[in-house]
Amino acid sequence: MTDIYLYNTKTRTKGQQFTPIDDKNVRMYVCGPTVYDRAHLGNARPVIVFDVLNRLLRHVYGDKHVTYVRNFTDVDDKINARAAESGRSIGDITDETIQWFLDDMGAVGAIEPCHMPRATAYIAPMVAMIEDLIAKGHAYAAEGHVLFSVSSYAEYGALSGRSVDDMIAGARVEIAPYKRDPMDFVLWKPSDADTPGWDSPWGRGRPGWHIECSAMAHDLLGAQFDIHGGGNDLTFPHHENEIAQSKCAGHDFANVWLHNEMLQVEGKKMSKSLGNFFTVRDLLDQGVSGEVIRLVMLSTHYRKPMDWTETKRKEAENTLCDWISVLQKHGYSAKTVEMLKAAGDWTADVELMGVLGNDLNTPGALARLHVLSKGRTAEALAPFAHGLETLGLVSDWSAVEASASERDDLADWIAPVIDRLLVERSTARADKNWGEADRLRDLLNASGVQVTDIAGEATWAQGPDFDPSVLEALI
């Protein structure tokens, strides 16, 4: 069995081996998106990171023994603003955005979590939790708001390593007349007639952001669960506040906290003002495949800042192309994989899984894949193929087979023309007319056709720059 070690933000160490509370039901909660717009590339990082962890946990504990929850925050002032400016209903916007998110994340190979709760479906548990916090003296109502009293929780700041005194000195906190303490944060806030609201003991209103995750995690995973994940920008205040709420409500909450580092683009923070802001959908539309996006993401460890660059995109495209062609050469298809499974040859590479289990060392796992890809037979390549599938880089083996024969999709005139040119070249070569032979080869290369000579036999394949119009112009 693969041992798993995870860096726990709470203890700031990789520490001891991961041991689930219940190995028949390993539970993980990851903060999902606020649904008001297309997911940008940075949004994809935690999705992919925790998808890898989900796959690893399933590998180790079994598909049936992992519960993965990722929420949708579908009540938020940004959504309200988007609705107001577009004139569309909030429901329309959130429904559409959720579908976009699922499509885009599916494209980068993310398996859907077991549960994807919407915050608006959990208002009642949130209200109940807030009432409980008030009853226990950790929260108070004021002017239609309910606030969490930070001073009532002695360990506030433990996750992020901050002290309340320091933060107040920093003075970047919102001062409001209804707050007893500037650090107190909102659990419930009043809604006017134009904003979505639900009836509550404190009047019509809507929940604060932090209480959503506490309530949904509790409802779906129980008072104590194994892993809580998210981007490291959420460490404070979001996760700190979740912990305060849940602990004060009497829940043990998450054992292990994981945070991925941020994503940059060409060395700079992705931002609209720098003009380097783009969504996952933008890349897909440009023809960058989801697998390529995923491979680039996996090439940097999740706890380090990752830089998205054009160079990396290109390299990932080449690597993926090489890997797939290795498998195609050995006739990989859905049937091949089935046969390997039947023969008991569909096994994980122990070293690869070990590397992955060591705090999700995906760059190390990719290095191992490079080594495994040197296998000489279909059987010898099984751990390689298995590894590709485990990392989510290949999900459909019949597609691998299909792309090997995509020559069939070319226009009818192309293949015969290329074949004729190759025959002419063979004749020239037989006559030792090297000038003519090379002219024909250069012509094919110029149009992006790869000519490969093996044992005197010439074959061809479309290169990445294949352009039939160049071929047409040259003949």
Chosen residue from 195, 300, 390, 447 binding RNA by CB under 7 A: 300
User: Per rule CB under 7 A, is residue 434 in the interface with RNA?
Assistant: yes
Closer to RNA at the Cβ: 37 or 379?
37
Closest CA to 254 of 55, 62, 74, 26: 26
Chain center to CA of 177: 41
Distances in Å between the Cα of 91 and the Cα atoms of 82, 102, 163, 197, 208 are 11, 17, 40, 13, 19
User: Per rule CB under 7 A, is residue 387 in the interface with RNA?
Assistant: no
User: Per rule CB under 7 A, is residue 234 in the interface with RNA?
Assistant: yes
The CB-of-72 to RNA minimum distance in angstroms stands at 10
Closer to RNA at the Cβ: 158 or 402?
158
Residues written for the chain: 475
Size of interface with RNA, in residues (CB under 7 A): 78
The stretch near RNA (CB under 7 A) out of 92-100, 107-115, 233-241, 412-420 is 233-241
The DSSP bridge partners found for residue 439 are none
Binding mask 179-208 for RNA (x = CB under 7 A): -------x--x------------------x
User: Per rule CB under 7 A, is residue 438 in the interface with RNA?
Assistant: yes
The CB-of-342 to RNA minimum distance in angstroms stands at 28
Distances in Å between the Cα of 411 and the Cα atoms of 273, 421, 458, 467 are 44, 17, 21, 12
Q: Which helix (H) or strand (E) holds 177?
A: none
Chosen residue from 22, 131, 132, 307 binding RNA by CB under 7 A: 307
C-alpha to C-alpha distance for 208 and 466, rounded to whole angstroms: 54
Distances in Å between the Cα of 386 and the Cα atoms of 257, 330, 348, 350, 356 are 29, 14, 6, 11, 14
**Is the bond into 182 cis (omega within 30 degrees of 0)?**
no
The CB-of-20 to RNA minimum distance in angstroms stands at 22
User: Per rule CB under 7 A, is residue 230 in the interface with RNA?
Assistant: yes
Binding mask 308-327 for RNA (x = CB under 7 A): ---xx--x--xx--x-----
Structure letter (DSSP) for residue 26: E
User: Per rule CB under 7 A, is residue 12 in the interface with RNA?
Assistant: yes
Tell how many helices (H) and how many strands (E) occur in the chain: 18, 13
User: Per rule CB under 7 A, is residue 2 in the interface with RNA?
Assistant: no
Binding mask 113-152 for RNA (x = CB under 7 A): ----------------------------------------
Chosen residue from 1, 172, 175, 192 binding RNA by CB under 7 A: 172
Q: Which helix (H) or strand (E) holds 253?
A: strand 253-260
Q: Which of residues 71-90 bind RNA (CB under 7 A)?
A: 76-78
